[in-house]
Amino acid sequence: MSKEYYAYIMTNKSRTLYPGVTNDLVRRMYEHKKKLIKGFTSKYNIQYLVYYEITSSIYSAIQREKQIKGWLRSKKIALIESTNPEWKDLSEEWFNK
């Protein structure tokens, strides 16, 4: 069984963008939504998952996150809107059970 790693982008109601990386996307979204991690995401109420990619290598996930972080905001928005034009929270259904 191969392990999965994720590069992702989260946002808030003001559309502040936060790229991140994790090996467990569901757990990480839960931590962000419940503000279990102090820092940028809890301070700015970043809780909507608007984009993610899956890779089988932690190195490529980290490389992708760094690449996205280096982009201009307009390029990040274009990436999000290429798969999620309505900026829906892709993790919304995960915790409503």
Q: What is the DSSP string of 13-44?
A: TT---EEEEES-HHHHHHHHHTT-S-SHHHHT
pLDDT of 51 reads 98
User: Which of these, 5, 11, 3, 4, lies nearest to 73 by C-alpha position?
Assistant: 11
pLDDT of 96 reads 72
pLDDT of 37 reads 86
In tens, the pLDDT along 15-36 reads 999 999 999 999 999 999 999 9
Measured CA to CA, the distance from residue 37 to residue 43 in angstroms comes to 10
Q: Could you list the mean pLDDT of each consecutive 10-residue stretch along the chain, which spans 97 residues?
A: 90 97 96 92 95 97 98 98 98 84
The model's pTM? 0.94
**Under CATH, what is the fold of the domain 5-90?**
GIY-YIG endonuclease (3.40.1440)
List the strands of the sheet with 18-22, edge to edge. 18-22, 5-11, 48-55
